[in-house]
Amino acid sequence: MTEKLVIVGNGMAPGRMLEHLFEKAPGRYEVTIFNAEPRVNYDRIMLSPVLSGEKDYEQIIIHGDGWYIKNGITLYKGHKIVAIDRAAKTITSDRGVTAKYDKLVIATGSTPFILPVPGNNLAGVLSYRDLDDVQAMMLAAQSRSKAVVIGGGLLGLEAAAGLAMQGMDVTVLHLMPTLMERQLDPAAGYLLQRELENRGLKVICKASTKRILGERKVEGVELADGTVIPCTLVVMAAGIRPSAWLGKSAGLDVNRGIVVDDHMQTSDPDIFSVGECAEVGGHVYGLVAPLYEMARVAAAKLAGEDVPGFVHNDTPTKLKVTGIDLFSLGDFADGDDRQEIVLRDASAGVYKRLVIKDNRIIGTVLYGETADGAWFNDLKKKATDITEMRDTLIFGQAYQGGSPLDPMAAVAALPDDAEICGCNGVCKGKIVGTITAKGLSSLDDVRAHTKASASCGSCTGLVEQVMKLALGDSYNPAAVQPMCKCTDLGHDDVRRLIVAKALKTIPAVMQELQWKSSCGCAKCRPALNYYLVADWPGEYEDDYQSRYINERVHANIQKDGTYSVVPRMWGGMTNAKELRAIADVVDKFQIPAVKVTGGQRIDMLGVKKQDLPAVWADLGEAGFVSGAAYAKGLRTVKTCVGSEWCRFGTQDSTGLGIRLEKFMWGSWTPAKLKLAVSGCPRNCAEATCKDIGVICVDSGYEIHFAGAAGLDIKGTEVLGLVKTEDEALEVIVALTQMYREQGRYLERIYKWTKRVGIPEIRKQVLDDVARRKEYFDRFVLSQKFAQVDPWSERVSGKDKHEFKPMATIGMAQAAE
Amino acid sequence: MNWTSIGSITDIPRRGARCVNTPEGKIAVFRTAEDHVFAIDDHCPHKGGPLSQGIVHGSSVTCPLHNWVISLETGKALGADEGAVRTIPVKVEGEQLFIALEALRNKAA
Ligand code: SRM
Ligand SMILES: Cc1cc2nc3c(=O)[nH]c(=O)nc-3n(C[C@H](O)[C@H](O)[C@H](O)COP(=O)(O)OP(=O)(O)OC[C@H]3O[C@@H](n4cnc5c(N)ncnc54)[C@H](O)[C@@H]3O)c2cc1C
Ligand code: SF4
Ligand code: FES
């Protein structure tokens, strides 16, 4: 007698299961299928090519109507099952049809996750799951207007690319800092974003959707930061959830999905579950390969065969957007029991990374060239020992005995009009052209004829690389000290290339300059972060996790893990109200030590980390801002009492000091920057051992720089004399900006000066008035984004997580 | 093992850390760029620096006080420095994180 097999859901998993079952046990079951979607089984994966117009629905059908007839299957299209009666062994659809089963298979797939934001039910908000969604999107696309896709994962990006091909103007919003972060590391995520942007898509990462705007229809999306993106279509692709409610309401064991054993049997032996709704061995799945494996195992079980159970295997991920090659597999986290092999080809946009553990591949990320994905997958699956082929492994299967990376690639890829020497405005084309035309062969010749590297010299490394490119192996550039072990490039080359290639994120720098590690180290990340902050004011978003703790929490860490707090006291001046506020804060938070610093202000030492925001709130109310005593940035401007009080004072040194501090606070510099202004050559403010100092004299202001009084002791150099306070301010600011643009990270002004030479600095910021003005203007621009008091930002809730423990486990709970 | 819930992986920034206060002392829970989670004592083997406040790179952290580099996986100091902190087992279930404190007690005993 045939048994009754009833299936809920007609997706890819049960379709495959039936194929196996009919082969193994033809005629054993009489099959009935209920499907909420009013159609036959089709290849859901291929919805993206349908959306982009590369395929049509007929081409993606897996089982046409004829197949159901041939196999004697009753298919209820457009029937959603709403109840299972396990005692009676029946199920019932929303249209009132009831069917009796001997064996039941639940294959209800997944449900798209809809963000719980206001407006999520407006007309024009769609998910991306089935053919109806695709047809609705294609209809909306006829308007050729704007669409927003929420979610930069696999589905979201395929939807976005498809809509763009249908002529829509598409913006992708992604909550995380890089696209497809589950499958790609930040380096590959960066390349993907760049490629999509080249195709005209807009991508906004770290975008948190606040609400969807509109009366009845969608009119736009508003982000948490207040940005509004107008649009007529919103596609939510923010993830899927296993559709397990039917199992739950029938009283089956349900966790994230319907719990099944390794033969797909639920907690009721007559009920099976396959597909995305099933949870096996603690995993739920969203790609078909493991679902097909479930289908195979379930079919065997239903056919009464004894086969080995389901085992977990990593499935490679690919993105089905024509022309984008991307492959990700397995576990690609760093670890010190693991090594990574990274290959970057900046000009070809290729990034490959293999993660190796115990001489075996455990993870792979490929971007731009994925032909070897299958081979790496195979090596991983078979746990092949790769020791023998280690040196050439990354080049792929076909490439044994490969050549080393080309260190010249980054420079070779620069266009002819890329500026190499900033001081003299010399571009790559000019250097190459002059070398060829004049037959030059030495650096001195190139300097003489092109002026490149003839001024501050910070571009020397690059000029030499261009020479090597033009002259070939006959030219040997001097060795540069690399920034760190992640790169062969020195600080200067990195700085110049960041500007020349308009690199605006840390992953961009690492990819384009062919970093040898995937995520940098504690040496290069803070340096890159500074260079990007300095070079792209207003555009670059600070990378919090690449900053040293003091700059992250805007206080100085102490040896016992507490912090010190130093508010600004402009030019060292204070008053009763400020002192009272400090006294109150010290009492209220029982701060153990208060000290007058060597920088003319007050230090409160031993503040508990979790008290910091409250301490700042009180100080902020009294008008204090952060003194940046922790920053690679402007620290103090020491002053003396000057002409206001002192019998020798020649100018208002206190006033100028305060003016400088108010003008320059907030800016980030390569290393700390300390200023002082003394009212006469007696120099009570010790201006002649500061990074920049001013000695006031009767005839004006003598500007000093490049002093030191810390690890090294060094008197300042005289830059020159200016007549007015305004001029003094302009020169000091221009000098600071020149240093900001050229200094190596952690290099104080006196060291930078030694490298560049006093005459060159004097020429650029004192003698050349036009250039001075340009430096000044660039500083002013960057201050627009830098002069935000970090304390008040944090009092208002920024970086909240820093100041609270994640959890506190009490004695009671922790006891056995 | 006895697993104690400490919150969600999303509570920790990528390449960052958060603290958990426990009767066994302060524990630092790290999340790497690729979403691997590790827990170690928040106490540098050198002079007790709070490791949770360091810069995270790869699967190591650089101590904020004197720049020792500590492996998050083994708790051992890397490079020329010698020393180790205790590691605490972490379990990730979906987004939820759990630690097994008893492992510490056993080590302490
Ligand atoms: C508080 C203070 C000492 C005091 O009690 O007076 C101080 C305290 C620290 N100094 Fe200083 N320096 C202080 C004035 C100075 C001075 C004098 C001055 O600025 O007039 C100098 C010499 C001048 C100079 O900078 O050239 C000075 C040269 C240093 C150095 C050596 C820098 C160098 O490049 O040679 C360091 C180490 C470093 O920066 O790497 C340093 C580092 C430090 C640090 C940040 C150590 C650290 O990395 O944790 C100390 C922080 C303690 C804290 O939490 O507040 N401190 N330090 C002074 C704060 C001034 C302020 O109001 O901001
Ligand atoms: C656009 C898109 C692109 C994709 N690309 C890829 C890819 O490149 N590679 C890859 O491996 N995977 C991809 N996937 C995922 C893959 O399609 C799914 O993993 C697979 O289709 C899941 O199969 P399933 O049988 O579990 O569920 P589904 O195919 O979702 O089928 C479930 C069916 O059950 C029906 N149903 C639900 N509840 C009930 C009920 N109560 N009563 C009756 N019927 C019900 C639903 O209407 C649906 O038709 C993609 C998915 C989408 C949406
Ligand atoms: S700088 Fe000269 S004028 Fe000013 S306080 Fe000192 S001694 Fe007096
Ligand atoms: S305490 Fe960590 S390095 Fe010194």
* CATH of segment(s) A634-786: 3.30.413.10
Q: Where are the domains of chain A?
A: 3-110+242-302, 125-238, 491-547, 550-631, 634-786
Backbone angles phi, psi at A328, to 5 degrees: -140, 140
One-letter identity of residue A290:
P
Atom 2 (ligand 3) nearest CA: A680
Q: Token pair of A542, please?
A: 């600070």
Per-residue pLDDT band for A811 (boundaries 50, 70, 90) equals low
CB contact at 8 A, A459 and A465: no
Q: How far is A808 from chain B (nearest CA, A)?
A: 5
**Mean per-residue pLDDT of chain A:** 90
CB contact at 8 A, A150 and A236: yes
Q: How confident is the model over A483-512, as pLDDT tens digits?
A: 998 998 999 999 989 998 899 999 999 999
How distant is the alpha carbon of residue A540 from its chain centre?
A: 12
Top CATH class of A550-631 equals: alpha beta
Q: What pLDDT sits at residue A601? A: 97
DSSP state, residue A148: E
Asked casually if ipTM beats, i.e. exceeds, 0.85, the reply is: no
Q: What pLDDT sits at residue B44? A: 95
Per-residue pLDDT band for A405 (boundaries 50, 70, 90) equals very low
Q: What pLDDT sits at residue A69? A: 93
Atom 4 (ligand 4) nearest CA: B66
**Domains of chain B with bracketed CATH:** 12-90 (2.102.10.10)
Maximum CA pair distance of chain A? 117
Q: What pLDDT sits at residue A31? A: 96
B70 alpha carbon – ligand 4 mean position (Å): 10
Query: Which of A234-273 are b and which e, b meaning 16 or more Cβ less than 10 Å from the residue's Cβ?
Result: bbbbbbbbbbbebbeebebebeebbbbbebbbbebeebbb
Does residue B11 register a pLDDT over 60? yes
DSSP tally for chain B: helices H, then strands E: 1, 10
Q: How far is B21 from chain A (nearest CA, A)?
A: 5
- Residue B38 host element (H or E): strand B37-41
Top CATH class of A125-238 equals: alpha beta
Q: What pLDDT sits at residue A690? A: 97
CB contact at 8 A, B49 and B65: yes
Indicate the residue of B22, B29, B49 with minimum beta-carbon distance to A814: B22
Q: What pLDDT sits at residue A477? A: 74
CB contact at 8 A, A695 and A650: no
Edge-first strand order for the sheet with A634-639 is A634-639, A673-678, A692-697, A700-705, A717-722
A447 alpha carbon – ligand 1 mean position (Å): 40
Percentage of chain A lying above the pLDDT 90 cut: 66
Q: What pLDDT sits at residue A815? A: 37
Distances (CA, A) of A54 to A49, A133, A139, A149, A335: 5, 17, 16, 20, 42
Q: How confident is the model over A251-270, as pLDDT tens digits?
A: 999 999 999 999 999 999 99
The tokens 């975008």 sit on which residue?
A207
Q: What pLDDT sits at residue B107? A: 58
Top CATH class of A3-110+242-302 equals: alpha beta
Question: What are the residues facing A217 on neighbouring strands?
Answer: A123
Residue bearing the bigger pLDDT, A667 or A340: A667
Q: Could you write out the three-class secondary structure of A277-301?
A: CEEECCECCCCHHHHHHHHHHHHHH
**A279 interfaces chain B, CB cutoff of 8 Å:** no
The SS3 of residue A439 is coil
Per-residue pLDDT band for A403 (boundaries 50, 70, 90) equals very low
Does residue A139 register a pLDDT over 50? yes
Judged by CB atoms within 8 Å, which residues 550-579 of A form the interface with B?
550, 552-553, 557, 559-561
The SS3 of residue A162 is helix
Q: What pLDDT sits at residue B109? A: 40
The SS3 of residue A171 is strand
Q: What pLDDT sits at residue A813? A: 46
Q: How confident is the model over A410-433, as pLDDT tens digits?
A: 677 777 887 787 777 788 999 999
A790 alpha carbon – ligand 4 mean position (Å): 27
Q: What pLDDT sits at residue A465? A: 84
In this structure, of A67-81, A324-338, A714-728, the range with the lowest mean pLDDT score is A324-338
CB contact at 8 A, A21 and A302: yes
CB contact at 8 A, A776 and A734: yes
Per-residue pLDDT band for A302 (boundaries 50, 70, 90) equals very high
DSSP codes, A69-130: HHTT-EEEET--EEEEETTTTEEEETTS-EEE-SEEEE---EEEPPP--TTTTSBTEEESSS
Q: What pLDDT sits at residue B98? A: 94
Question: What are the residues facing A235 on neighbouring strands?
Answer: A126, A149
DSSP codes, A293-355: HHHHHHHHHHTT------------EE--STT--EEEEE-----TTEEEEEEEETTTTEEEEEE
Does residue A592 register a pLDDT over 60? yes
* Fold matches, A3-110+242-302 and A125-238: yes
How far is the C-alpha of A97 from the C-alpha of A94, rounded, in Å? Answer: 7
Does residue B105 register a pLDDT over 70? no
CA dihedral A706→A707→A709→A712, nearest 10 degrees, is: 60
**A810 interfaces chain B, CB cutoff of 8 Å:** yes
Let me know the angle formed at the C-alpha of A21 by A20 and A24, rounded to the nearest 5 degrees. 85
Does residue A638 register a pLDDT over 80? yes
Q: Token pair of B12, please?
A: 């920790």
Does residue A141 register a pLDDT over 70? yes
The SS3 of residue A192 is helix
The SS3 of residue A713 is strand
CA dihedral A298→A300→A301→A302, nearest 10 degrees, is: 90
**A812 interfaces chain B, CB cutoff of 8 Å:** no
The tokens 């606070």 sit on which residue?
A665
Mean pLDDT along residues A710-724: 94
Q: What pLDDT sits at residue B106? A: 63
Across A458-472, A638-652, A797-811, B95-109, the highest mean pLDDT is recorded for A638-652
- Residue A777 host element (H or E): helix A769-786
Distances (CA, A) of A803 to A53, A121, A246, A383, B14: 51, 37, 43, 44, 17
Across A292-296, A673-677, B22-26, the highest mean pLDDT is recorded for A673-677
CB contact at 8 A, A367 and A374: no
* Nearest to A678, CA basis, from A734, A637, A617, A631: A637
pTM over 0.80: no
Atom 4 (ligand 2) nearest CA: A45
Mean pLDDT along residues A307-324: 83
Does residue A394 register a pLDDT over 70? yes
